[in-house]
Amino acid sequence: MTDEYGFDTRAVRAGQVRTHEGEHSEAIFPTSSYVFESAAQAAARFAGDEPGNIYSRFTNPTVRTFQDRLASLEEAESCVATSSGMAAILSTCMGLLKAGDHIVSSRAIFGSTTVLFNKYLAPFGVETSFVSQTDIGEWEQAIKPNTKLLFIETPSNPLTEIADIKALADLAHSKGCLLVVDNCFCTPALQQPLKLGADVVIHSGTKYIDGQGRCMGGAVVGNKDIVGEQVFGFLRTAGPTLSPFNAWVHLKGLETLSLRMKAHSANALELATWLESQSSVERVFYPGLASHPQHELAKQQQTGFGGVLAFEVKGGKKAAWSVVDNTQLISITANLGDTKSTITHPATTTHGRLTPEQRADAGIGDGMLRIAVGLEDIEDLKADLAKGL
């Protein structure tokens, strides 16, 4: 359902297979195994001679509907759903890498991804070099003969730095590597990395795809060989499979994704603009602002600027905590991608385990706050922040 229909139509309808009951909304199939008509059919399924379900660690109809719908939205051949966003990143690495391989990654990636690379992949002989999100020269220098993957997340969290997907895809391909893009912050509603040349797209469905903070999930998207064979091969063996119920929540989330991402983006742009005019605010980080260093690049590769912004208040940690503690509406939680707005103080939460020097290198000041802007009335959000500012 890729060429024929527009994005919003595919978000609502792609991947649905109606059963003989004629249900209008997609069905949930809570079953761990499937029944065969005969010994011969069982043998043919196991041998791979006949397509069809065997066991839900491998395939499940509800999970397949979610996968087909997300593949259609990213305009990809294949999508493999996983139990979380981190399971998607782990499955990609396990499916594509072996001992002796090397990853070049942006430094500005999700904290657990850094830990996965440094603490859990390194002992198996996969080494990672970390480079600047925005300086292509650093990437070029870091690539070695054994480099297999380049890994980015754009916009980054919390500084919203933009990586140039097309330039990094071209660089990756000129060196025989694959480019993997964590597209969690934009979703295919705002950014389609495969169209810009990326090879693999990662999703934490937990965030905007669910969109209402209900359940965990993830996905890997790309071509048939890389995702449909290699990543799926690891997943069906090792088992970080998405549950049918979570797949159902996420496939229903896809139906409103494009509307929600537009609304998150509109609210975030207005809040960012308002914050920039506040005398107690030192600086605002949001790709939709003309003051953002990669505003032009963001306009080229994204169709909206997303729901996450960061800002630095004057007065360091004390002033930042006062803004957090004076909110009554905005939730104090590190999650993002929810209809409910959330606020965090990165220096003492998500980035609290870094040394002060590492935090300074990463550009995370003591006065910095991150807001994942939800879908509440924008005037209520401004009023909630105005108290502490």
Alpha carbon 21 to chain centroid, angstroms? 35
Residues 95-134 that bind ligand PLP (CB under 6 A): 110
Residues 185-244 that bind ligand PLP (CB under 6 A): 204, 206-207, 216, 218
Give the nearer residue to ligand PLP in terms of CB position, either 182 or 384: 182
Give the nearer residue to ligand PLP in terms of CB position, either 10 or 344: 344
Minimum CB separation of residue 82 from ligand PLP in Å reads 9
Which one, of 119, 58, 55, 64, lies nearest residue 93 by Cα?
A: 119
Give the nearer residue to ligand PLP in terms of CB position, either 207 or 345: 207
Minimum CB separation of residue 123 from ligand PLP in Å reads 21
Place of tokens 């600027």: 305
Residue 160 found at the interface with ligand PLP (CB under 6 A): no
Minimum CB separation of residue 16 from ligand PLP in Å reads 24
Residue 86 found at the interface with ligand PLP (CB under 6 A): yes
Counting residues that bind ligand PLP (by CB under 6 A) gives 12
Give the nearer residue to ligand PLP in terms of CB position, either 61 or 85: 85
Minimum CB separation of residue 53 from ligand PLP in Å reads 25
Residues 128-157 that bind ligand PLP (CB under 6 A): 153
What value, to the nearest 5°, has the Cα angle with vertex 109 and ends 106 and 115?
105
Give the nearer residue to ligand PLP in terms of CB position, either 206 or 342: 206
Give the nearer residue to ligand PLP in terms of CB position, either 61 or 205: 205
Maximum Cα interatomic distance, the chain, rounded to a whole number of Å? 75
Residue 91 found at the interface with ligand PLP (CB under 6 A): no
Stretch that binds ligand PLP, among 29-37, 80-88, 92-100, 316-324 (CB under 6 A): 80-88
Beta carbons of 320 and 369 less than 8 angstroms apart: yes
Minimum CB separation of residue 189 from ligand PLP in Å reads 16
Q: Which of 60, 67, 84, 154 binds ligand PLP (CB under 6 A)?
A: 84
Residues 164-183 that bind ligand PLP (CB under 6 A): 182
Give the nearer residue to ligand PLP in terms of CB position, either 78 or 84: 84
Give the nearer residue to ligand PLP in terms of CB position, either 85 or 287: 85
Pairing status of strand 147-153 against strand 218-222:
unpaired
Minimum CB separation of residue 235 from ligand PLP in Å reads 14
Minimum CB separation of residue 252 from ligand PLP in Å reads 17
Q: Interface with ligand PLP by CB under 6 A: which residues?
A: 84-86, 110, 153, 182, 184, 204, 206-207, 216, 218
